[in-house]
Amino acid sequence: MLSIDKQMLFLLTRVPSITVQRFIEIYTARGYSQQSVRNVLSRLKGLGYIETVERSNYAITDHGRRTLSAIAGKGFLYGAEWDGQWQLVTFEIPDSERSKRYQLRNSLINLGFAPLYKNTFISPWNYVDEVNRLTVNLELQSNITQMKGSFQHFAITRELAAKMWNLDNIRAIQKEKILWFYNEYMPAVEKLKEEGNALQLFIRYLELGESMSEYIILDPMLPAELLPPDWQGQQVLELFYRNFSTLYHCIPEDAYYYAFMKDE
């Protein structure tokens, strides 16, 4: 699912409904054309994720909420206690279903799994429910086996974990995110606060949410035992979460966008 699709579904979880014109106002301010906004809404409706509640007014469906929940998948796992057990997912999918196999692998990696062997992925965290939902959506229930346990005569060290989860690449992205936040994002937000521009502050809110979502997908949020001592994943996410959940203080309560931004 594309970023704008997910974002629109997220917005529809915060209010009963949104008009087409309001969506157009928001996303043309983000650089999208009116037609592309209408195309996304049409696609979401065609997939059953949203429905028309009255003329040119959309609400999210139960199917849309479940889909968004399944996509979100990962929670904030830093600080969670690891029991030393590994979740293992192994699968055998024929070439005739190679597109589903590709989707499954990508989805497992986005959840925080890493390949142990060609068709075997592991995670230190319990994602049984998320994997079950994924296999149902892909209609692959009979092709996948899940197990949980510990290794015998083998250990995943910090060094091996760094290679399996490409932590050097994620570390470079952490630095980019921090520089972007302090050098570009916050100066722009501070200027908009002075101007009192509710729409543009809301656009920055969406931008931060998008950047945060991108990073959550990349970061497996491994237990401390498997991470380098100088790992900054928790700091990046806490920085983003803190600002994402408090930006609503910068606009009036009667502004249309306040309901979207207010932390529940």
Residue 214: closest CA among 247, 189, 240: 240
- Cα separation, 111 vs 72, in Å, equals 9
Predicted model pTM: 0.86
What percentage of the chain reaches a pLDDT higher than 90?
A: 79
Confidence of residue 75 (pLDDT cuts 50, 70, 90): confident
pLDDT of residue 262: 86
Q: What's the angle, vertex CA 30, arms to CA 29 and CA 33, rounded to 5?
A: 80
Question: Helical H runs in 47-166?
Answer: 62-72, 98-111, 128-138, 158-164
Confidence of residue 72 (pLDDT cuts 50, 70, 90): low
- Cα separation, 189 vs 211, in Å, equals 15
The burial class, CB within 10 Å (0-12 / 13-18 / 19+), for 46 is: exposed
Q: pLDDT by residue (tens digit) across 117-172?
A: 989 999 999 999 889 988 988 899 999 999 999 999 899 999 999 999 999 999 99
Q: How many other C-beta atoms are found inside a 10 Å radius of the C-beta of residue 214?
A: 13
Question: CA distances (Å), 52 to each of 32, 166, 197, 226, 253, in order?
Answer: 22, 43, 30, 48, 27
Q: What is the CA radius of gyration of the chain?
A: 20
Sign for the pseudo-dihedral over CA of 199, 200, 206, 212? negative
Does residue 158 contact residue 226 with C-beta atoms inside 8 Å?
A: yes
Fold of 3-71: Arc Repressor Mutant, subunit A (1.10.10)
- Three-class DSSP category at 148: strand
**Is domain 80-155 in CATH 3.30.70.240, yes or no?**
yes
Q: Is the pLDDT of residue 205 over 60?
A: yes
Does residue 44 contact residue 9 with C-beta atoms inside 8 Å?
A: yes
